[in-house]
Amino acid sequence: MSRKLITLKPLTPYFFGGENTFGDGKINYYAHSNYLPQQTTILGMLRYELLHQNDLIGTDPMVKDWKSLIGENSFQRIEENFIDEFGAIEKISPVFLSNHNQHYTTQAFDWAYCEVDNNTKTNNCSVKQKKVSPIMVDFENSGNDFVLFDQQTTNIPILYVNDRCYDPKYGFVSLWVTSDGKTLRQWNYENPIEFDDTKGYENGLFIKHEQIGINRKLNKRRDEKGDFYKQVFYKLVEDFCLAFFVNINLPEGKKLESRIITMGGERSVFDMKVTEAGSESFDTIFNEQTFKIGHSRKHKAIVLTSDCYSHDSIIENCLFSINESVNFQNIITQQNSVKNYTAFARGGVTKSGENLTLLKRGSILFPQINKLEEIKLALTNNPFNKIGYNNFLMIN
């Protein structure tokens, strides 16, 4: 088994579809790409590349033993269990961003905007400046009890930002953080917030690219819709690329090498580089110190370093959480009689039909101490973890 670092440098603006995309009977005139590919997209790309680079596309899966190379099925639930066998692919890490000198992952959500004391004048009007500061959660001096789930009650902790009570009108902020924890960047490059440069805040990493399209049918009735649409693609700033690790055990004579690939809903083009990772891994790059630098949390916390699938009861076992959710629905394929990937367009590929809700990467949970093991157990899911979901870190 070897661990490889795979980087994907976008050569064109890219589009990774989510729920708000075209097709499947839904009319959407504004389709917005996700910033990152789903982990199932990464898995699908790897499975395809293993077949393509080893000249297996168009061959009989049984005769050529696709199973030992890519497994028998894509990620999906069959009966009560999710598939966790993908041939030579043993484990995929969460996607992160890298320019080879610095590595970035999603920062925990306990950061927020706040006002700073110095005002600026714009058109003779006073404008309050904002900066980003860590959120301090105070359980000792909590507010009144409130009902959480039916018969359960809990205390509302007090949130402080820059030594002031958290003001909801400024909101939380989504950031990327370097592996050493010393530099924070926004997600979106446009409309940058005035960060405090002395603390290492910089502009964002993703540049929006909008594209207008026309889908006019010549023989179209006047009452039909869907002529015009807009899509939002993304580019990465500077020399950044998408990156992930994969533990892979290639059969003798099989290969996975660097080349130009296409990936995503619009067949966006990427320069894929495959290198040996040695002892380096996602968990050695991004560790507890990544999230502790610049923040002084006083309580035990769990930071989700990837999207996580878990039962709803996980939140009930927390004193407090700052979290977001994301819908998850993946493409499924069965080899069966399919011998050529182009055949999937004729019915060999479908959506899972099962809409799951995942806790979003960056969510931070403050567990009840006596429920800590239950939360860790709820987040431990081997099939999801194998393809890069359900990664988390204990803080303090």
Instruction: Summarize the confidence of residues 113-126 as an average pLDDT.
Output: 62
pTM here is 0.85
**Which pLDDT belongs to residue 148?**
44
Backbone angles phi, psi at 294, to 5 degrees: 80, 0
Residues pairing with 208 in the sheet: 234
Other residues' Cβ atoms within 10 Å of the Cβ of residue 244: 21
Query: Quick one: the chain helix, strand, coil %, rounded to 5?
Result: 15, 40, 45
Instruction: Summarize the confidence of residues 190-203 as an average pLDDT.
Output: 55
Instruction: Summarize the confidence of residues 161-167 as an average pLDDT.
Output: 86
Quick one: pLDDT band at residue 168, thresholds 50, 70, 90? confident
**Which pLDDT belongs to residue 24?**
47
Instruction: Summarize the confidence of residues 135-142 as an average pLDDT.
Output: 83
Quick one: pLDDT band at residue 121, thresholds 50, 70, 90? low
- Range from 193-207, 254-268, 302-316 carrying the lowest mean pLDDT: 193-207
**Which pLDDT belongs to residue 365?**
96
pLDDT above 90 coverage of the chain, percent: 51
**Which pLDDT belongs to residue 99?**
93
Domain boundaries, the chain: 1-99+206-285
CATH number attached to the domain at 1-99+206-285: 3.30.70
pLDDT tens digits along 222-248 = 545 555 678 889 999 989 999 999 999
Q: CA angle 19-23-28, nearest 5°? A: 65
Buried b (16+ CB within 10 A) or exposed e, 123-144: eeeeeeebbbbbbbbeeeeeee
